[in-house]
Amino acid sequence: MNILGISAFYHDSAAALVRDGEVVAAAQEERFTRKKHDDRFPENAAAYCMREAGIAASGLDAVVFYEKPLLKFERLLETYVAFAPRGLLSFLRAMPVWLQKKLHIPREIDKGLGDYSGPMFFTTHHESHAASAFLPSPFEEAAILTMDGVGEWTTTSWGVGRGNRVELRQEIRFPHSLGLLYSAFTHYCGFRVNSGEYKLMGLAPYGEPCFAGLIREHLLDVRDDGSFRLDQRYFNYGPGLTMTNGRFHRLFGGAPRRPDDPITQRHMDLAASVQLVTEEIVLRLAAHVRRETGLNNLCLAGGVALNCVANGRLLRESGFDGLWIQPAAGDAGGALGAALHHWFHHLGNPRTPRRPDAQHGSCLGPSFSSQEVCEAFDRLGAVYRICRSQGELARMVAGEIAAGKIVGHFAGRAEFGPRALGQRSLLGDPRRQDMQRRMNLAIKFRESFRPFAPAVLSGRQGDYFELEQESPYMLLVAPVRGGRLPPSDGAEALQGLDKLKSVRGELPAVTHVDGSARIQTVRRGDSPRFHAILQAFGELTGCPVLVNTSFNIRGEPIVHSPADAYRCFMFTDMDVLVAEDCILFKADQPPMAGAAEYRRGFHPD
């Protein structure tokens, strides 16, 4: 039985195909269209999933949408009425797209899939999140916690997964939302909502949480069980087109930062403050769920579950023995959750948990054969060499990285979710002090404060990080062993972004200014090629750790095709490109026009 899950029309549209309970394929629409966070119907992603399964739309047995549009429309109407007449402009902007598209999901599915005439089903938004969190997990039973901006009405929910079923027991409803609180500060600090939250989290260690008291006193009423209410007098996301209002701005000392304005210590302190408050609420929620369920394992999904700093504290402080987080925790993962929910929960099919999980390393996207890669490079006039041995390729790549080169790595099936896990990655030497700055400014064209993640051979993470559990999806932050030592002369006196100048331990390129890192552990079974490169680098240098960041520039979706990879390689300061069996060196390539147009083609996120 082939079930297609769909998420669309808010942000990060995606499709996922489940066959008899097995995850066959999943992908986000942005990878195909090259539009970051593309919210349109995932026509390309759905077509890919069906190709991977070897079927046409007529071969689908069910299509499941990840939320219930009528419930969401009800929430919008009730919100506009509650805030009237203040919400009139927002109402007038929202209604046309709802009346033309969002209320007519069956019609949009028919149009997007072509010859599909089978049944359509709808789960609720947080049921989809909960199913994506528990059903692929390795647990027979577990507590479930979902947290995001808002679905239909729900913003936070908790429940229990047992066997093949997911039961949500309690919820917090709009307008009270931990995700929207974090997004409000994202907007206020000058970053884009629904994509800039990563930046706010990365900025937080540069500041001090001196505004946390104001947040707790004025914006939030938090109970012992983690439930909370937001004082809507300080926010504008209910009736308006922005996240915050004048009262909020006066409380925190000024108007929102414009995207091109300098980042000041105040913005760093604001980031540190809302990050701390978010962690406190997440920990309280988890403690309540632990008490109420008595279960030893916890599964997470929803956009807040991508806050890997909070996840690290959950692992260390929540009392749960096991923690599993959906790697596509945001709305994209709702497509997968919807399909799995239909097969297991709705149809009642049995489920046998798998170790390490049923997500297949989240390598669920498209792949390209060596022949397809060579043909693409030939069309572009690229100069490449063919490496016939995977062992030789791994040793060659390791040698280039050890020599200080930055390598673009494109191999196997693309990752599903926002993290590059080695299949579509930029790789560098974490021991080099200048690697973080060089990657940020010369390759990614993004802010210098943004940290990079280390990838480490599974089983060796404890040698370098205070982490024993595996972290295959780069969703846990933990301290770097010796990450704060030895400080360079005068490092203690450095403030703000100047903290980047301090030397931090043996792995400075992946150690954040607070001595932490967002860690990916790499298993041979999930990614044999990436594992071989890490192993070769370890044998060469004694350090089986690499810088791993996504293969793209600022504002661009992660590269999808060999042509995308080549353009990114040519129009940045990347040194080497490895795509399947092909190895390309920058010095060998003919000139390629269009660098400025390429960089202008992607708007900063």
pLDDT at 486 over 60: no
CATH number corresponding to 2-133+331-349: 3.30.420.40
Report the pLDDT value the prediction gives residue 125, as an integer from 0 to 100.
Answer: 97
Residues in the chain: 605
Threshold 0.85, pTM exceeds: yes
Q: How far is the C-alpha of 539 from the C-alpha of 537, rounded, in Å?
A: 5
Report the pLDDT value the prediction gives residue 448, as an integer from 0 to 100.
Answer: 77
pLDDT at 558 over 80: yes
CATH architecture type of domain 370-600: Alpha-Beta Complex (3.90)
Are 408 and 569 in contact by the 8 Å Cβ rule? The answer is yes
332-350 average pLDDT score = 98
Q: Is-catalytic flag, 11?
A: yes
Show Cβ contacts of residue 128 under 8 Å, excluding neighbours closer than 6 positions.
Answer: 5, 7, 66, 67, 333, 334, 335, 337, 338, 341
Report the pLDDT value the prediction gives residue 232, as an integer from 0 to 100.
Answer: 95
Radius of gyration of the chain (CA): 23
Report the pLDDT value the prediction gives residue 365, as an integer from 0 to 100.
Answer: 98
Lowest mean pLDDT among 334-348, 431-445, 563-577: 431-445
H or E segment to which residue 476 belongs = strand 476-479
Q: How far is the C-alpha of 312 from the C-alpha of 478, rounded, in Å?
A: 6
**Between these two residues, 82 and 519, which has the higher pLDDT value?**
519
Lowest mean pLDDT among 42-51, 77-86, 349-358: 77-86
* Average pLDDT value over all residues in the chain: 94
Q: How far is the C-alpha of 452 from the C-alpha of 433, rounded, in Å?
A: 12
181-206 average pLDDT score = 95
353-382 average pLDDT score = 97
pLDDT at 573 over 90: yes
Catalytic residue among 11, 341, 345, 560, which?
11
**Domain residue spans of the chain:** 2-133+331-349, 370-600
- Return the exposure string of 123-139: e unless at least 16 CB atoms fall within 10 Å of the residue's CB, then b: bbbbbbbbbbbbbbbbb
Q: How far is the C-alpha of 572 from the C-alpha of 588, rounded, in Å?
A: 15
CB atoms within 10 A of CB 296: 14
pLDDT at 488 over 60: no
Q: How far is the C-alpha of 563 from the C-alpha of 353, rounded, in Å?
A: 39
H or E segment to which residue 109 belongs = helix 105-113
Instruction: Determine phi and psi for 546, rounding to 5 degrees.
Output: -135, 150
pLDDT in tens, 118-153: 999 999 999 999 999 999 999 999 999 999 999 999
**Predicted confidence band at 82 (pLDDT cuts at 50, 70, 90)?**
confident
Report the pLDDT value the prediction gives residue 562, as an integer from 0 to 100.
Answer: 98
Report the pLDDT value the prediction gives residue 284, as an integer from 0 to 100.
Answer: 98
Percent of the chain with pLDDT over 90: 83
H or E segment to which residue 516 belongs = strand 516-522
The two tokens of residue 442 are 């010369």
Percent of the chain with pLDDT over 70: 97
pLDDT at 253 over 90: yes
Are 514 and 206 in contact by the 8 Å Cβ rule? The answer is no
Show Cβ contacts of residue 221 under 8 Å, excluding neighbours closer than 6 positions.
Answer: 228, 229, 231
pLDDT at 485 over 50: no
